[in-house]
Structures are given as C-alpha cells and as structure tokens.
Structure 1
Amino acid sequence: MNRLTKLTATALLVTGLFSCSADIEQYQQTSPTLDIKNYFTGSLTAWGMVQDYSDNVTRRFCVELNGTWQGNNGVLAEVFYFNDGEVTERNWQLTKLDNGEYQGEAEDVIGTASGQQQGFAFQWQYTLSVPVDDDIYHLALDDWMYQIDQHRVFNRTVMKKFGVEVAEITLFFDKEQPLRKCPNVT
C-alpha cells in the first residue's frame, strides 16, 4: 500500500506541475469583446506588481504604453517605471492573423509569442528573458487579459521555470481620458 500511495502522490505532483491553464474557449460567449488591436491603439497606462512563489510582493511598477497599427501589423511600445528606480522598455511587433489569433516578438522575448481571444478574454503565451543579478533566466509566461469595460483591462500572468510557478504578475490597464501618467521616477 505504501508503494501505491507514493506512486499516486508522484502522479498528482507531475500532473500539477505540467497542467495547462484555463481553456480560452470557456469565455467565447462573454462580453465586452476584447479586441486587442482596438484596445491597444493609442496611449494607455498600466499599474502592476510582481509576487514571488510565496505571494510576497517583490516589485511594483507603472507602464506607459502606445500602440500603433498599419493593417494587421502593430507596434506596442512600453516603458516600465519600477518602484526601485529602474526604467526599462519593450517594443512588441504584433501581427493579427487571419484566424483572429495574434503573434508577437519583442527584444526580450525568446521566439514568437502567440495569443488568442475569446469574448472578454485574451491569452498570450511566450518565453521571456529575465535578467536577475548577473544571470539571465528564461521564464514561460501564461498571460491572461480580461476586459472590464471600454477603458479597463485586468491582466494576470503566471511565470514558470521548468513547469514550476516562480512568480505572478498582476496588472491593471486604463485608457480613460484624461490619461493618467506614471509618476516621475528618481
């Protein structure tokens, strides 16, 4: 019986480590519809935090974004202002595919990001190169966005290494006018 218990526990652990995230299809009939191309056009601001594996908040930040589109190709320029004074940039090169899915590339993204929208939800998955001290980590990100109304989107991202969750990002986007800007960082 002891061997059976160990095998069952091992199977549950492996299943938990490699389990998939929620299914995007479950949001097909929800509204308002999150149109990534429409929402991420023009200027918007976001505020967020990073939590480690034990739910401790390790960083807070504000992001100023500007999106432009030419047909189905877009650029989403992001400037991150972290509470510790660090300022970083990311420039997404986005493509809306014929089937309504999206692909993207950015300076710190390994390979190509892929995304899919259903109803008020959008799932975006990619591998991010993250510098920590003198090392670079490649983390798998499972990024979920949920549109609340025409101006606001909530975002929750799980970061994993070797299938194990190492951090979570929570983010709130707002594009209501007048647009609030990130505070000056010194």
Structure 2
Amino acid sequence: MKILLILLALLPLLSSCSSKIEDYTGTTPALELDRFFTGELVAYGMVQDRFGQVLRRFKVDMVASWEGNKGVLEEDFFYDDGEQQRRVWYLEKHPDGRYTGTAGDVVTPAEGRTEGYALNWRYTLAVPVDGKVWDINFNDWMYLLDENRLINRAEMTKWGFRVGEVTLWIERKAAM
C-alpha cells in the first residue's frame, strides 16, 4: 500500500516532465510533412526495449508523394537479422496543422499535429512479438533538424506501461 501511495504522489511530477506540441510553437524551421516527405528518403534506426537495450537495428528506404493534401509514404524496412517488412502510409494534411495517417498494420489511425519544427502523433500499431501480434501504442515525435534531416523518436506502450522505444534518423536522398 505504501508503494502505491508513493507512486500516486510522484505521478504529477512524472507527467509534468512530458513534452507538449505547444512547447515548439514558433520554432524554426517549420516541419511540414508534405514538404519533407517528398521523393526518395532513407532512414537508419533501432528498436530498444524498456531497459534501453538495443533489440534490432534497421534501414528504411522510403518514397513519398503528395497530391494536394493527400500523401503516400512507402517504407521498405531491412532489419539486421535479415527480416524485411513493407508499410505504406496514407497521409492527410488538414488546414489547421493536423495530420492523420493509416497503414495496413495501423490499428488506430495516427492523429497529431505540427508546431514549429516538431510533429507529435499517436497511433496503435499491430506488432509481431514471439509469434503473437500485440497492439502497441506509439507516442511518435519528429523533429526537423534542417530541410533535409529529421530525427524521429517513438515511445511504445502496452496497457499504459513503457515497453520500448524506436529511434530513427531520416534523410532526404537529394541531400546525400
């Protein structure tokens, strides 16, 4: 019972440390997905467990295109253990700075928005784990470094508990 009371007392402190998208209002350069995610891109990343141990490393070849406010982002993943995976995102830009997105393995559509150089969106992804498929919640943050480079960090949770993190460095191929 004492441990529960201590955790409840610390909860406001822990939640106050989390970032809000409004914290990035006015920062530059401004992130617009339809400008950054256009043409060919490449990403390098890793998946870490809840203790920070790297579980997998990967490369992603991406091709993105937009027609008006609707975009398609094709991702081909190449993992260090030889596994390959493909995900195709269907994105929509809304006039108020919000973005939404769906893909075949996205259980609940991604919803979020940009402010300044940051994007935060949340979604649930069906993730294969040890022969089963788990619905993992993603709190996904993208930070534009310059017009050709972006860092992406996503916290993964299940039943409200942190189970891991994904980190990516994304670069437009035109910049290489």
- TM-score w.r.t. the length of structure 2 is 0.92
1:164-175 equivalences in 2 (<5 Å): 164-175=161-172
Deviations 1:71-126 (A, max 9, x none): 10110000000000000000001011121201110011002110200001001210
Tell me the SS of whatever aligns to 2:146: coil
Structure 1 regions of 5+ residues with no counterpart? 180-186
- Structure showing greater Rg: 1
Structure 2 regions of 5+ residues with no counterpart? none
Deviations 1:18-70 (A, max 9, x none): 78941100101111111111100111000000110111000000001111111
Greater CA drift, 23-32 or 11-20: 11-20
Change beyond 3 A, Cα 1:64–1:16: farther
Q: Matched residues, percent identical?
A: 43
2:151 to 148, 151, 154: 154
1:11 to 8, 11, 15: 8
2:132 to 109, 132, 135: 135
- TM-score w.r.t. the length of structure 1 is 0.88
Q: CA RMSD in A?
A: 2.0
1:69-88 equivalences in 2 (<5 Å): 69-88=66-85
1:35 aligns with 2:32: yes
**Residue in 1 aligned with 2:119?**
122
Corresponding residue pairs, total: 176
1:113 aligns with 2:114: no
The answer as to whether partners of 2:102 and 2:110 remain within 8 angstroms in 1 is: yes
Residue type of the alignment partner of 1:95: E
The answer as to whether partners of 1:125 and 1:140 remain within 8 angstroms in 2 is: yes
Greater CA drift, 82-91 or 92-101: 92-101
